[in-house]
């Protein structure tokens, strides 16, 4: 996701400096070319060699370095950067930059760059709540600098409260957002993800192999592109995506209630969830005992949430742009095209779940996209993050005519 992106990672002197190593790893793993600048204090906490080894680039520590100065080091770094991240950012560095002081390699390069700058502050809670710090942060925000706010927790200094560096994953997510065009700004998107569970008795249920990965990838991608995202999720083992409102549900009926409660304010609904088609006719209040050699559970059809949305009367309520998924094991194209028509959708993402590298519970997918106007588009084998990007490209392109 960050291939061909040049990122400067500024590391300041705080105990959280060690967490910048994890952030560096996430950035390089995503393909970014990362150049690290460390303040003098940061080098007291972590050795530059660690960052040098993991970034495969020399670490910059001195403003006046005879070798680098041949090309005026801080200016050439500042000019070539796509994004500047300062993590952890101390009260000191934020105070200096807010007041125009550029007296070392890091502050000078931040002042010289035209790239977006993302600060991830970390400090003692009393420093964080100090009005001087707050005023400096406010000034930088006003000027367009980005912030990934610290979180509350036990601080290394023994205090408890706000000031803990945001999780490296959250900073990484904000870095991706900072580099993404906001073509979904002002839009509200509801995405459903994961399986549903239909209870048989207090200890058993019917479900399927959906991991939720595709829906969560869509939620992250939509948020990066500026959308307000509501993620209605069945039970999954995935981390809650940053900046997304997650509504946890268990059964298809619960999913239906939540979708219907929020649909009126949505521009787009993407139904990536693998909703169980049937549920037990009656849920046993106590655990069903083992006795006979065979047993039968009577099932009743669940409401088709997506078909219900497709049938909404657009005269009463503006109908959102509807995207369905079709997980098939055979006759992929025919089944998907039929579902698109029957459920009155704008777009359907069809994937062959009989293949080991696509569909349920894997990180990759390959899909065929069909549209209301009869056109289609093929997405070859790619990561679910990449497929989420392609799906949203098509949504954005068609949303204006919706």
Catalytic residues: 157
Q: In whole angstroms, what is the distance from residue 376 CA to residue 370 CA?
A: 4
Q: Which of 85, 252, 268, 391 binds ligand C5P (CB under 6 A)?
A: 252
Q: Which of 199, 201, 304, 393 binds ligand C5P (CB under 6 A)?
A: 304
Tell me if 322 contacts ligand C5P by CB under 6 A. Answer: no
Q: Please identify, among the stretches 39-47, 84-92, 217-225, 301-309, the one whose residues bind ligand C5P according to the rule CB under 6 A.
A: 301-309
Tell me if 275 contacts ligand C5P by CB under 6 A. Answer: yes
Closest to 270 (Cα-Cα) out of 222, 342, 341 = 222
Q: Which of 302, 370, 379, 387 binds ligand C5P (CB under 6 A)?
A: 302
User: Would strands 33-38 and 151-154 be described as parallel, antiparallel, or unpaired?
Assistant: unpaired
Tell me if 279 contacts ligand C5P by CB under 6 A. Answer: no
Tell me if 241 contacts ligand C5P by CB under 6 A. Answer: no
By the 8 A CB rule, do 107 and 117 touch?
A: no
SS3 1: coil
Q: What is the dihedral of CA 366, 2, 247, 286, to 10 degrees?
A: 60
- DSSP-derived secondary structure letter, 167: P
Tell me if 339 contacts ligand C5P by CB under 6 A. Answer: yes
Per-residue burial over 102-138, b if 16 or more Cβ lie within 10 Å, else e, is bebbbbbbbebbebbbbbbbbbbbebbeeeebeebbe
Q: Please identify, among the stretches 87-95, 211-219, 236-244, 298-306, the one whose residues bind ligand C5P according to the rule CB under 6 A.
A: 298-306
Q: Which of 17, 32, 230, 306 binds ligand C5P (CB under 6 A)?
A: 306
Closest to 17 (Cα-Cα) out of 148, 137, 165 = 165
Q: In whole angstroms, what is the distance from residue 12 CA to residue 244 CA?
A: 29
In the complex with ligand C5P, which residue's Cβ is closer, 23 or 349? Answer: 349
- DSSP-derived secondary structure letter, 355: S
SS3 258: helix
The residue count for binding ligand C5P (CB under 6 A) is 14
CB of 274 to ligand C5P, least distance (A): 7
In the complex with ligand C5P, which residue's Cβ is closer, 230 or 326? Answer: 326
Q: In whole angstroms, what is the distance from residue 353 CA to residue 327 CA?
A: 6
Tell me if 326 contacts ligand C5P by CB under 6 A. Answer: yes
Residue with token string 């949203």: 392
In the complex with ligand C5P, which residue's Cβ is closer, 171 or 273? Answer: 273
Q: Please identify, among the stretches 216-224, 233-241, 269-277, 370-378, the one whose residues bind ligand C5P according to the rule CB under 6 A.
A: 269-277
Read off the tokens for 159.
Answer: 């205090």
CB of 398 to ligand C5P, least distance (A): 17
By the 8 A CB rule, do 92 and 125 touch?
A: no
By the 8 A CB rule, do 216 and 175 touch?
A: no
Q: Please identify, among the stretches 74-82, 199-207, 210-218, 268-276, the one whose residues bind ligand C5P according to the rule CB under 6 A.
A: 268-276
CB of 326 to ligand C5P, least distance (A): 5
CB of 147 to ligand C5P, least distance (A): 36
Segment 184 to 203, residues that bind ligand C5P, using CB under 6 A = 192
Per-residue burial over 183-201, b if 16 or more Cβ lie within 10 Å, else e, is ebeebbbbbbbbbbbbbbb
Tell me if 28 contacts ligand C5P by CB under 6 A. Answer: no
Q: Which of 194, 212, 241, 324 binds ligand C5P (CB under 6 A)?
A: 324
Q: List interacting residues with ligand C5P (CB under 6 A).
A: 192, 252, 271, 273, 275, 277, 302, 304-306, 324-326, 339
């Amino acid at each position: 996701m960050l291939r061909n992106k040049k990122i400067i990672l500024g590391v300041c002197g705080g105990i959280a400096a060690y967490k910048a190593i994890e952030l560096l790893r996430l950035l390089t793993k995503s393909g970014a070319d990362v150049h690290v600048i460390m303040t003098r204090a940061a080098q007291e906490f972590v050795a530059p060699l660690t960052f040098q080894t993991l970034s495969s680039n020399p670490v910059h520590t001195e403003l006046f370095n005879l070798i680098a100065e041949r090309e005026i080091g801080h200016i050439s770094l500042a000019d070539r950067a796509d994004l500047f991240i300062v993590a952890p950012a101390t009260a000191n560095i934020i105070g200096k930059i807010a007041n125009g002081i550029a007296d070392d390699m890091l502050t000078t390069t931040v002042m010289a760059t035209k790239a977006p700058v993302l600060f991830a502050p970390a400090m003692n809670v009393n420093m964080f709540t100090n009005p001087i710090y707050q005023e400096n942060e406010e000034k930088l925000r006003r000027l367009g600098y980005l912030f990934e706010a610290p979180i509350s927790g036990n601080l290394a200094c023994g205090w408890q409260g706000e000031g803990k560096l945001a999780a490296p994953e959250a900073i990484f997510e904000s870095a991706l957002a900072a580099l993404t065009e906001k073509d979904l700004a002002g839009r509200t998107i509801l995405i459903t993800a994961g399986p549903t569970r239909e209870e048989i008795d207090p200890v058993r249920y019917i479900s399927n192999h959906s991991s939720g990965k595709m829906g969560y990838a869509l939620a992250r991608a939509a948020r990066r592109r500026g959308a307000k995202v509501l993620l209605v999720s069945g039970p999954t083992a995935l981390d809650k995506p940053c900046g997304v409102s997650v509504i946890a549900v268990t059964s298809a009926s619960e999913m239906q209630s939540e979708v219907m409660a929020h649909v009126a304010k949505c521009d787009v609904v993407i139904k990536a969830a693998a909703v169980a088609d049937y549920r037990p006719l009656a849920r046993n209040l106590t655990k069903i005992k083992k006795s006979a050699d065979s047993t039968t559970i009577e099932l009743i059809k669940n409401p088709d949430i997506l078909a219900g949305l497709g049938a909404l009367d657009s005269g009463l309520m503006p109908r959102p742009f509807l995207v369905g998924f079709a997980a098939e094991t055979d006759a992929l194209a025919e089944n998907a095209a039929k579902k698109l028509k029957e459920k009155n959708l704008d777009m359907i993402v069809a994937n062959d779940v009989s293949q080991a590298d696509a569909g349920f519970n894997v990180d990759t997918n390959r899909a065929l996209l069909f549209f209301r106007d009869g056109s289609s588009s093929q997405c070859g084998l790619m990561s679910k993050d990449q497929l989420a990007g392609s799906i949203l490209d098509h949504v954005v392109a068609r949303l204006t005519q919706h």
